[in-house]
Each structure stands twice: as structure tokens, then as C-alpha cells.
Structure 1
Amino acid sequence: MTSTDLRPTPTRTPPVTLASRLAALRGSAIRDLLTLTARDDVLSLAGGLPAADLMPRERIAAAADRALRSPAAVQYSETAGLAHLREVVAAHESGRTGRPVAPGEVVVTSGSQQALDLLARALLDPGDPVAVEDPVYVGALQVLQAAGAAVHPLPLDAEGMRVDLLAERLAAGFRPRLVHTVSSFHNPRGVTMSQERRRALAGLAERYGFLVVEDDPYGLLSFDGAPPRPLAAHGEHVVRLGSASKVLAPSLRVGWLVAPPVLAAAVERLKQSTDLCGSSLTQMITAELLADEPWFAAHVAGVRRENRGRAAALTAAVDAEFGSAVTRSTPTGGMFCWLEFADGTDTAALLPHALEHGVGYVPGNAFAVDGGTGLRSAARLCFATYPPDLLTEAVRRLARASRRRDS
């Protein structure tokens, strides 16, 4: 054997052929943007990040300490979620919807995003028609594209989804398998579907036999008065998605799905092939905090109060810095304010200048169902992450970037 025989064989990258379902799957501009806005010198209004200073870290730590006294906290758990947490979520959802929810209708997931993915996998075959709001929650669009669904956009106005247009399409023969909506404090538009439209949508679902997926991570974050009455209160053809991320802490990674038992069982079977089960520890923590109803109600009331002040600070700064150059939404809850530049400013082109001035946001086109230019002059701003003084400064930076680019 010669010395040359001992040389290592050069490695080659093996051929990789990706599944066809990835061809239509659009990446999340928001996730990509978070990398750019992670710099210490950037005030990011881009991510939908709840404020770390409002998360109940001490109470979470105490609950974690109590949970860790049980061996079950570090063990595998049931695929559908810890029995106690499912009972707590069922009681929580019963109170929200005004109808009895059984623990067997609840599947606990790793955030509500996993719930949506599992639901799509359980219900959709490639080519199945699905209706969504436009602008759309990007996470929902990704899930539906990955499932190979044919996505049909429905516009929004100040009262939420144009249910009247859906009714016209249904009358003309459109038959969706699902209709997805962020009905309360919409992401990204910030609007809330009126109760009249909720009743109409629930009625259409029953008449035409489709399911409505009510994605509701923000419903408890109403600034004034009671949270909006959920769609599920108006009919039985509604699957609800909920989450602890916006009201407790994202890192708990606890979400849930409430669905008819046959669908909940199908989702549970799919979840077995995905992660076997969620974190026993964070589920035990979440169960304790949600079950302590007086504490939880006081905590959420404090978050709502603080977010109301933050939204007021951001919108006041927008009015002061931009005046009639933009139109904006008036947040009544949730986490987002929607801007539109009157002169047609391309917010994607403006973004690099904004980052140079130390502020980030999400351009409107990131939320366009067709990925086109219909929302090119719009932007989504999150007001929940920072206190009022930093929100005011962030808007000032955005205004300076806009003026500098126009000069």
C-alpha cells in the first residue's frame, strides 16, 4: 500500500432533494428581521414581544420550585398535556366562551403555533381551499403553505374580516375547509372583529360545513372593559387556539387547542409523531398560575393597564412626528399599531435607513398573502415591548430616518 492510499478520501456534500411542499413555503420576514434588530443600539418595534419587565418572573420561579419537588416535573408526560393543566384550561375556556369545555376537548401544545400546525396536518390535504385575512398573520400563512393549501385572502376593515365578502363567495360556490382568523386585536392590523360579524361567521360555518380557526393569543389584553366575546360563543364550528405566551411568558411554550373530541384525538396522534409530549415542568408552572384565578386576573389587569399606556405613548408620538403624513390604527388592546404612509413610501426600502437610525419595524408587505406590493406603504409597530419613553424615542428615530431619506 502506498502512502497515497492512506490519504483521506475527499468528502462531498451528499445530494439533498427537498420535499415539494417547501416550494411554496415563504420564510418569515419577521424572524429574519429579529436578527437585524437584536443589536443593542436598535429599538425594535418589529417583533411581537411582550415586555420582559411585565412577566411574573418571581411567581414563575416560586411555581417552578414547588413543581420541582415532584418527580413528575422532570419526567415524560401525556401527549395531550398534563391532566391537571387540561382541566385548568378547560375551565378557563369555559369561562371565556360561556359554554362548557371538557378536558377531553383540550390538547396542550408547544405554543399555539404548534397547535395550528397540527390542526392543518389533521384536516388539510394538498390543494384544499382555506380562507385567511389579508394582511395575514405570517405564522398561519407558513403553516397553510406547508400543508399545500390553496390560500384565499379576505380583506379587513375597522370591524375585522369582511365576512360579507366571504358570504358572497360562499353563495357563488366557494367551499373552504377552514377559515382562519385572529379575531381579537388582529396581528398585524390591530382591529377586532365586531360581534355582529362573529355571529355571521359562525352562522356561515354551520350553514356551509367548514371550521373556523379562532387564533386568540391577545383576547385577554383588552384595554377597556371585558375581553371580546370569542367566536366560539356563537357556534360549534369553531376551533380555538390559546396561549400563555402573551399573558405569562413566551419561554413557557404552553399553548392549547380546543376542538371536538374526534379532532382533538387526531391532533394528539399527530403530536405523538412530533415531540411525544411537552415539558412537564412548564405545564405544571402554567397550571398553577392559571388556576390561581384572583392572582391571574390581577396580573392580566396590570399588563392591560401598562400596555394601554404604552399604546397611548406610541400613537401620541406618531401623531406628533408624522401628523397627516401617515394614517394609523387606534389600538384598543393587543400589541400592535398599523401605519400607512399617505405618500406611498415604500416601507421595505425605508427599513435599512431606519435601522441606521436605530429603529426597526416590519414592512407591510411581509403580511401580504400573495407576497405582492399591495401593502408596500404600510408598517406594523409593536408597542408592548418598551416603556413609554423608549417608544417615544423609537418613533422619533423613525421620523428622522423618513425625513433623511426624503431629503
Structure 2
Amino acid sequence: MSLTTPLAGKLAGLQSSAIRDLLKLTARADVISLAGGLPDAALMPRERIAVAAESALAGAAVLQYTESPGLPALRAVIAARETARIGRTVPVDEVFITHGSQQALSLLAEVLLDPGALVIVEDPAYVGALQVFRAAGARIVAVPLDSDGMRVDVLEDLLIAGERPAVVHTVSNFHNPGGVTLAPERRRRLAELAEAHGFWVIEDDPYGELWFDQPAPDPVASYSPQVIRLSSVSKILAPALRVGWMAAPDRVCRAVELLKQGADLCGSALTHQIAADLLTDTDWLVAHIDSVRQAYRARANALVDAVRTTFTDRVRCTDAAGGMFVWADFTDGTDTSALLPKALEAGVAYVPGAAFAVSDSYRNSMRLCFTTSDEAVLAAAIDRLASAAR
């Protein structure tokens, strides 16, 4: 007997993440994966997390429900960090802790978007944002990236033409998947446009602390309260803590609170306390993040050097100034989706550019992640990719 009881109609247009699906194919021990957007587990501070967990468990309160906006101690820590980052005071009431920053994005879509509302995203786009905005029934329009990040001039042309977005989403630092950073003058102009035209900017910033040679520019939020900032500890501490946050105006946080109460009531007081402990241990945290930066810098340089040396002008790739990704384009028309099965046979994986397209584009592109392999393994991965591409 088959079940014909219907599901919600909004599911019809949704697709599983191509990246998550690809991870299932790259679990083989003989495949070097440049596909997953994962931080290196070997660099995660397990011993320090264990100490923080033991300290937290000394009291029974961390095993109880906590406030829906998050453990007050953690919110105070994040408020101080965001104040220092943005350069203006961020009150504790304007900080909301979520189950990773992806939940923050999902809850914001419910708060800020009605079905059919216009959302502007960068192209290529962060897959998680596309999933959220499609689930919300938004109309999605893409604005291209170049080496200085979002083409804010193209956004301005859309506004002049009469488009009225509810939300503009940007991964401002070390873009996933594009690997580029939004230039300071474009940040200022984006904030000016948000205020002039009354739309929200969601500044998604999980990678901002993973700079290699110089810190990321001042956040877009430095220029306007119309900007909602998202981040998490997943890339600097550990994804398993599932601690993300938004810094947003109080009325947005209170609306998100209503929805979160219906979704999961609250987060984990235990992991919130662990995160608060680690984030307030300033000397240790600075040294830890610096060690992660050094490792990723060496790996990023090794990957970029291998691509440019091996493929010469057949492949163009971004410089890696921070974050976790390099974006690469075949210049000879190679279709990266068609190449992928051959690459897997050769023992290497990547994410085809089409996975990040708002429409049918980036057939000749790919995203390469450099975080989970050392320099020698990354060089071997590019050798395998070259073998598959011959």
C-alpha cells in the first residue's frame, strides 16, 4: 500500500544540499576531499573544551532549560565581542544565541520575509542561504561577485530599476564559496543603500577571524543599524558546540524569540557555558585562533600554488587571504559536474560550481576547501585532479 497523504506544498521546490550529498560519496579512505566545508578536527581544542565542560558540570544549572535568547553569561560575552568588532555599543538585549548561525538565518527568514518577498544574494551563493530563502518562498535575485566581493553597483542598478528587496544577504569576509572579501568602500555603500531604501542586510560572518595576513575590514554593521550580523564558534572552536548568534535590533531579536520558542524552546545551557568559558579566556583564545590561522595559511598557499603550477592558465583561482575556500574556474570549457565522476575515480573530490548557482551557471567552476589536509596531501590532490582532467 502506498501513502498518498500530501506533504506541504512548499517542499516541492526544495533540494537537498549538493555538498551534503557529496560528502556521502567522499567518505572513502582513498579519496582526498576538497569538497566539505569542514574545519580541521585535529585543530579543535578538545582538551580545553573538556576542562570547560568539567567546570560547567560542577553546577547543576547547566543541565536545566535556559532562556530562549541564550545563557545570559554567553550573551554578555558575545555583546562585548560584537561591540569591539563593530565599534559601537551592542547591548546584551540585541544579542540572540542560536543553534549555529544557520538557525539564525532560518529564523530571520521567517521574521523578515513574507512569501514572494525579494531577497538579493551573491552569485555564486552560499548554499545554506539558498535553502533557507527558497523554503521561505522568497523571490531570489543574484548579484555577481568580483575580486572585491558583491557588485554593489549592480545592486544599485536594480534599485534604480525599481526592485525593492526585503533582505540583502552577504558573506562579507572570505566568501563561501567565492573566497573573496567585500571591499571597505562597498561595505559603506551597501549600508547607505540599506538605509536609503529600507531593506535589511544580513551580514553572515563565520570566517572573519580566520584572516591570514591582515584582519578583515570593519563589518558592514559598523555603518548602519540596518545590518544584522551572524556568526558562530563553529570555525574557531568546534561545530559540535552548535553555538551561533545574531546581533540585531531589539525588535528583531524579540520576534526571533517568539519563533525559537516554538521551534526548540531554548539552546543548550551546557554548551553555552562551555563557549562562554573559552571565549573569555582571552590569552588562550588569541593563541588558539592564531595557531589555526597559521595552519590554514600554509595549506591555502600550498593549494593555490599547486593549482597554478599544475594547471597554469587552464585554471584561474582566487588568492586565499583567509577563510576556508578557494574558487577556481577552468578557462577551456571543462564542465566540472561532468568531470567529478572521473575525479572521484582518480581519488579526489571537489564541489562543482553549479551547486552554488542561483540559476544554471558556473558549469566550469569548482570550490576547493583546503582546511582538512596538510600541504603534501593537497599537492597530491591537485595531481589527481590534473590526471582526471587530462
| TM-score, normalised by the number of residues in structure 1 | 0.94
CA distance in 1, matches of 2:180, 2:290: 20
Letter matched to residue 242 of structure 1: S
CA distance in 2, matches of 1:319, 1:30: 25
Q: Which residue does the alignment assign to 2:382? A: 395
Q: Does 2:43 align with 1:48?
A: no
**CA-to-partner distance for each residue in 1:226-277, whole Å, 9 max, x for gaps?**
2321110111110000110001001111000111001101101100111111
CA distance in 2, matches of 1:344, 1:16: 45
**CA-to-partner distance for each residue in 1:93-149, whole Å, 9 max, x for gaps?**
111111111111111111000000000001111000110001000000000000000
Letter matched to residue 378 of structure 2: L
Q: Which residue does the alignment assign to 1:7? A: none
**Correspondence for 1:328 among 291, 303, 317:** 317
Q: Which residue does the alignment assign to 1:245? A: 234
**Correspondence for 2:12 among 19, 23, 27:** 23
Letter matched to residue 384 of structure 2: R
Q: Does 2:197 align with 1:208?
A: yes
Q: Secondary structure at the match of 2:263?
A: coil
CA distance in 2, matches of 1:191, 1:319: 18
Q: Does 2:371 align with 1:352?
A: no
Q: Which residue does the alignment assign to 2:113? A: 124
Letter matched to residue 322 of structure 1: F
Q: Secondary structure at the match of 1:85?
A: helix
Q: Secondary structure at the match of 2:384?
A: helix
Q: Does 2:304 align with 1:302?
A: no
Q: Which residue does the alignment assign to 1:366? A: 355
CA distance in 1, matches of 2:374, 2:42: 9
Q: Which residue does the alignment assign to 2:328? A: 339
- Paired residue total: 390
**Correspondence for 1:36 among 25, 49, 65:** 25
Q: Secondary structure at the match of 1:197?
A: helix
In the TM superposition, residue 301 of structure 1 has moved relative to its aligned partner by: 1.2
Q: Which residue does the alignment assign to 2:96? A: 107
Greater shift after overlay, 36-45 or 175-184? 36-45
Q: Secondary structure at the match of 1:180?
A: strand
Q: Secondary structure at the match of 2:13?
A: coil
**Correspondence for 2:167 among 178, 185, 189:** 178
Q: Does 2:40 align with 1:63?
A: no
Q: Which residue does the alignment assign to 2:140? A: 151
**CA-to-partner distance for each residue in 1:50-82, whole Å, 9 max, x for gaps?**
111111111011101111111012211111100
In the TM superposition, residue 13 of structure 1 has moved relative to its aligned partner by: 4.1
Q: Does 2:224 align with 1:235?
A: yes
Q: Which residue does the alignment assign to 1:383? A: 370
Q: Which residue does the alignment assign to 1:161? A: 150
CA distance in 2, matches of 1:226, 1:351: 35
Q: Which residue does the alignment assign to 1:187? A: 176
Change (3 A) 1:14 1:26: closer
CA distance in 2, matches of 1:57, 1:388: 23
Letter matched to residue 265 of structure 1: R
Q: Which residue does the alignment assign to 2:79? A: 90
**CA-to-partner distance for each residue in 1:287-309, whole Å, 9 max, x for gaps?**
11111122111111111111110
Which of structures 1 and 2 has the bigger CA Rg? 1
CA distance in 2, matches of 1:292, 1:311: 28
CA distance in 1, matches of 2:132, 2:258: 18
Q: Which residue does the alignment assign to 2:215? A: 226
CA distance in 2, matches of 1:389, 1:68: 41
- Name stretches of at least 5 consecutive residues in structure 1 with no aligned partner: 1-11
Runs of 4+ in structure 1 off by over 4 angstroms are none
In the TM superposition, residue 317 of structure 1 has moved relative to its aligned partner by: 1.0
Counterparts of 1:279-298 in structure 2 under 5 Å?
Answer: 279-298=268-287
- Name stretches of at least 5 consecutive residues in structure 2 with no aligned partner: none
Q: Which residue does the alignment assign to 1:256? A: 245
In the TM superposition, residue 225 of structure 1 has moved relative to its aligned partner by: 2.0
| TM-score, normalised by the number of residues in structure 2 | 0.98
Greater shift after overlay, 385-394 or 248-257? 385-394
**Percent identity of the aligned residues?**
58
CA distance in 2, matches of 1:164, 1:316: 32
In the TM superposition, residue 19 of structure 1 has moved relative to its aligned partner by: 1.1
Letter matched to residue 323 of structure 2: G
Q: Secondary structure at the match of 1:132?
A: strand
Letter matched to residue 19 of structure 1: A
What's the Cα RMSD here?
0.9
